[in-house]
Amino acid sequence: MSEKDHQSGRQSVWQPVRIGVDVGGTFTDLQILHAGTGLMTSMKTPTTPEDPSIGLMTGVKRAAERDGFKLSSVSHLLHGTTIATNAVLERKLPPAVLVTTAGFEDVLEIGRHYRRDVYSLNPAAPPALIPRDRRFGVRERVRADGRVETPLAPEAIESLVQRLAPLDLAAVGICLLNAYLNPEHEIRLAEHLSRAFPKLRICRSSEVSPEIREYERTSTTVLNALLMPVVANYIDRLKHRMAAEAFTPRLLLVQSNGGVCSAETAQREPVRLLLSGPAGGTAAAAFLGRQLGEPNLVGIDMGGTSFDVSVVRDGTVGLVAQGEIDTLPVRLPMVEIRTIGAGGGSLARVLPGGRVAVGPESAGALPGPVAYGRGGTEPTVTDANVVLGRLDPEGFLGGLMQLDLAGARTAVAARIGRPLGVDVETAADGILRLTNTKLGAAIRLSLFEKGLDPREFALIAFGGAAGLHAVHVAEELGACRVIFPRDASTLSAFGILNSDLQHDLVRARLLLLTPDAAAVLGPIIADLAREAGTRLDADAIAAANREVRFTADLRYRGQAFELTVPMRGSTLDAAVVEHLIADFHATHQQRFSYANPGTPVELVALRAIAIGRLSAPSVKAAELAGSGKPARSRRLWLDGGWQDCPVWQRADIGETTTIRGPALIEEAYTTVIVSRGWTCSAAAGGHLVARKD
């Protein structure tokens, strides 16, 4: 076959193509799937912090060149991004103002009266992202029952326009009192401001977070307003780069709830992207748990910058109605994830008094760990793994990057070993032990707060660095199984690849939940169903691919928090209300070990989840036809000394292969260490499972 015929044959195999992309702090991960044959490959390329769209397009073009498909054959690009998260954490936010009901300008700064650090003499207040001189009150008032007490006069609107005119602004957030019940005044303000300032991006609280709790609603509105220009500019840059390459797939962005949305929705409600990347890994963990018959899993995603913990219980990923970023509340449904600053790029240092600390500061993509040879001088977790022989300097990233072993040893010795008076191996081993302790503590907290026992869960390790730490962390927890999925370093991109469109809708109503309440709540459910249909119509989702689920936020009267309880069906009558009350008592008993059936139950909000199913791609199972023999051996520092350990290539593992630790398993973008006393073998789908003897 000629080269031309060979390329033509490869291209025919790869049409059409779907790509999932997870842009992380250090690397941009891609999963590439041909929807017809189920063939799947992965790609990893350095993230370009100055403009993440550069790294994304670089990865896409490299994948097309390597796998032999045309950019024009890509049907979907599903994109997880940290652009919104980083903008908030780094305070790279545009100038904006907040418009509130007169007298409520300081809600954003007052916040909630509780202390995160109860022992601090000078606790830090949550940041107010919009300063006091840019928070404007307008004379109007809507009562708690939704009736207008003080109308919004034209003079008040004109006065606001005049105050905003001389300011250099990119966005406005509008959050009026009780607008979640009656948004009339917010709508009028938004319409007038958009006419007066056509280029200004405007966010209404009644659109992005129509719920009770003034501080949380205001915080969510402000974050969304500030992120609108940031995300819109990024999406515009990305679309420009795509157009320049004649790359025209359907672009979908990953949301914090684990679903995807259109680029237009992301530009209008960018606050929904705050957990965009980690949500993909959680979805993938749940998917693989079903495939492997493991209903109880702890997903551990360790990349270059952070370590994310998610819990899959009984096959279900936990969602919370409210999350936070940098202590700022976000009143939107989010996948329940705990994140700590402990990744491969986390910096290690000796503090005064001789105590060693690892993270949360990271070397990031640039300069990165010392071993990357890009100008880094501070030792990292990756450098410690290089020093102890756990990473191959010649084979990192499939051989695309050569690591500087000498530089890593010098940095660890100078910054850690010398101040502590220990040799370089002991210093590197200490960095890794401390890191594993931090990882184990994060997992324990995620499980203990739910009353769960780590010994009843398997770990599923993904991200580029997790394989080097997972078995050691499992030993700390008392867990007996660790799953190392196929293409583990790009598993978040795999989860993104399998995501569906999703819209979260809510109607807040405070009332006692009794069978008689069905007459009031029925029309609200019908209204949610109509809006769900409208959203899915805009996404061009066929009727057969739609699903709408309903839940209710409930609490005992007098409580300050709610539990979200699924509804049985899509209509609300007296019988359904009684079932809902009974399910709430049962859920409260399960969560808090007690229930009060005699106490009245209060409804706080009704929710709808509108899901648009994308065509589910079928992934071809990996062929396990390896030689069943390790490729070579390498010196590895274990148990206080150097020893020769077998090094397996993942492709060498067959269906009946059993690997006994200590051993290393390498693939293009990640390395797995199997400790002494553990065995590792293949499972369905080409995944590996390590078990403690």
pLDDT band at residue 9, thresholds of 50, 70 and 90? very low
pLDDT of residue 479: 92
| pLDDT beyond 50 at 5 | no
pLDDT of residue 551: 95
pLDDT of residue 617: 61
pLDDT of residue 194: 96
pLDDT of residue 624: 63
pLDDT band at residue 621, thresholds of 50, 70 and 90? low
pLDDT band at residue 15, thresholds of 50, 70 and 90? low
| pLDDT beyond 50 at 7 | no
- Give 407-414 contacts, CB < 8 A, sequence gap 24+: 407/370, 407/371, 407/373, 408/369, 408/370, 408/371, 408/379, 408/383, 408/384, 410/370, 411/370, 411/376, 411/377, 411/378, 411/379, 411/383, 412/348, 412/379, 412/383, 412/384, 412/387
| pLDDT beyond 70 at 657 | yes
Closest Cα partner for 365 from 580, 119, 45? 45
| pLDDT beyond 90 at 453 | no
pTM to 2 decimal places: 0.83
What does each C-alpha distance from 46 to 24, 59, 401, 488 come to in angstroms? 9, 9, 11, 17
| pLDDT beyond 50 at 13 | no
Using alpha carbons only, give the angle 31, 35, 40 rounded to the nearest 5 degrees: 35
Q: What is the DSSP string of 475-539?
A: HHHT--EEEE-TTGGGHHHHHHHT--EEEEEEEEEEEE--GGGHHHHHHHHHHHHHHHHHHHHHT
Q: Report yes or no: 20 and 31 within 8 Å, Cβ to Cβ.
A: yes
Q: Report yes or no: 631 and 652 within 8 Å, Cβ to Cβ.
A: yes
Residue 321 has, within 13 A of its CA and on its CB side, a CA count of 25
pLDDT of residue 1: 31
| pLDDT beyond 80 at 120 | no
pLDDT of residue 212: 92
| pLDDT beyond 50 at 598 | yes
SS (H, E, C) 64-111: HHHHCCCHHHEEEEEEECCHHHHHHHCCCCCCEEEEEECCCCCHHHHC
Q: What is the mean pLDDT of residues 681-691?
A: 88
Between these two residues, 237 and 322, which has the higher pLDDT value? 237
pLDDT digits (tens, 9 = 90+) for 131-159: 999 999 999 999 999 999 999 999 999 99
The dihedral built from the CA positions of residue 623, 627, 632 and 634, taken in this order, carries a sign that is positive
Q: What is the mean pLDDT of residues 455-480?
A: 92
Structural tokens at position 300: 């551990």
pLDDT of residue 249: 95
Q: What is the mean pLDDT of residues 391-407?
A: 85
Q: What is the mean pLDDT of residues 229-236?
A: 96
pLDDT of residue 638: 87
pLDDT of residue 650: 86
| pLDDT over 70, % of the chain | 96
Structural tokens at position 190: 């938004």
Q: Mean pLDDT lowest for which of 226-235, 382-391, 436-445, 570-579?
A: 570-579
pLDDT digits (tens, 9 = 90+) for 40-72: 888 888 888 889 999 999 999 999 999 889 999
Q: Mean pLDDT lowest for which of 26-35, 599-608, 624-633, 648-657?
A: 624-633
| pLDDT beyond 50 at 6 | no
Taking the CB of residue 476, how many other CB atoms lie within 10 A of it? 16
The dihedral built from the CA positions of residue 34, 40, 42 and 43, taken in this order, carries a sign that is negative
Between these two residues, 338 and 541, which has the higher pLDDT value? 541
pLDDT digits (tens, 9 = 90+) for 359-368: 888 887 678 8
pLDDT digits (tens, 9 = 90+) for 325-334: 878 889 999 8
Looking at every residue in the chain, the average pLDDT score rounds to: 89
pLDDT digits (tens, 9 = 90+) for 270-285: 999 988 877 888 888 8
Structural tokens at position 447: 């499980």
Residue with tokens 């006393």: 677
| pLDDT beyond 70 at 625 | no
